[in-house]
Structure 1
Amino acid sequence: MNLISESQYFPPVIFFKSSYKISNIIIEQCESYQKLSFRNRCQIAGAEGVIDLSIPLVNGRDQKALIRDVRIADSLPWQANHWKTIVSCYNRSPWFSYYRDGLEELYRRPFGYLLDWNRECLDWVLRVLGMPRTVSGTTEYKTDYRPDEGVDQRGKWLPKNRESWGNEAPRYHQVFEERTGFLPGLSILDLVFCEGKNAIRYIQS
């Protein structure tokens, strides 16, 4: 079975829950870039609530280029800033030290294209979760897919609707939960740092 999805920056937990029984993930790489999505943004938990980590893009977020041609604005130190924020938010989480070195190495590597960065993020998470999947990209844009072609989940989860679909994802103990309450629908990073090797059990549930 195939799952067709847009490219995402450390996707929300629900992405992995919905793809748990899927053997092949197909990333849409022939669409026009769309803003206000998880294509260049992921959301993590901070002491004051949800924090957006946004990747700056060449020509900004209003561009109409194909997603495979969207370049990261590497003149800005976004990787260093994102990593600093991740450390600040999760340094006290139970499993952060276990995954820290591998993830820090990823944040030190230069990337020119958003699609390449997101693919590396996805591959990292699949390895950590122990979810071997075949990951490929589309070769043409299709408005719709037949049921026998796969499950089309493009555009299903958007940051602005997080609180409505976030409750479909599992609930677990978060670092700042006593202060902020449980924040649903966050990036898979939140679950991994909080539950570690048990994260896959929450995805299965």
Structure 2
Amino acid sequence: MYKRIGYLDRRDEDLAEKAKLMEVVDSLSKQKATLNDSLTRLKIRNEQLVLSQQNRLKDAYFSISESVRGLLAQDLNRQDSFENPKKVDFSFGDNRISVDGHTYFSASSRAVLRSAFFLGFHASAMQNSYFRHPRFVMLDTIEDKGMEAARSQNFLRLILATSENGPAENQIIFGTAMIADELNNEKFVVGRFYTRDQRSLDFR
């Protein structure tokens, strides 16, 4: 009789332990399901963020490309590729800019293209609030490579129009030795005009 009672007691204890184990397993299963759901949501969210970043990057590249294209179209008729450009492509990694697939230009046109790219980037930064680029640009290569005065002065007017028509507060600093007459005043000019005899650094 006592053996029978002892057996039943052990069986009850075993059943109680198994019941506790089942509760633990059930709780862990629920936690696993919850974690799997969270993991799935995080994966979906991460994919959405990656896609959003890719789309934003495409939009940024397109905005810059369109800004540069618009500036080139307003250049004087000195470079056939600039007169009615359809597409401007660029690569930061390759340090390359092409206009309708063309990458070879005259020296002065390369100077215009380079300055137009920086100015176009600046214009896009003003137009798109998500750009992390400061609304500031400094241009000191406008007149590289034998630039003629009329072409340089035309580009200076584009600089002024870009700044004044921009939707955000901005600043553009540029150096020139061939300033347009309407810009040669205290509103736009800082400092004196430098010449060979009166250099920018005066050590006297």
TM-score, L = length of structure 2: 0.23
Give the greater-gyration-radius structure (CA). Answer: 2
Which of the pair has the greater relative contact order for Cα pairs under 8 Å at 6+ separation?
Answer: 1
State the TM-score, normalizing by the size of structure 1. 0.23
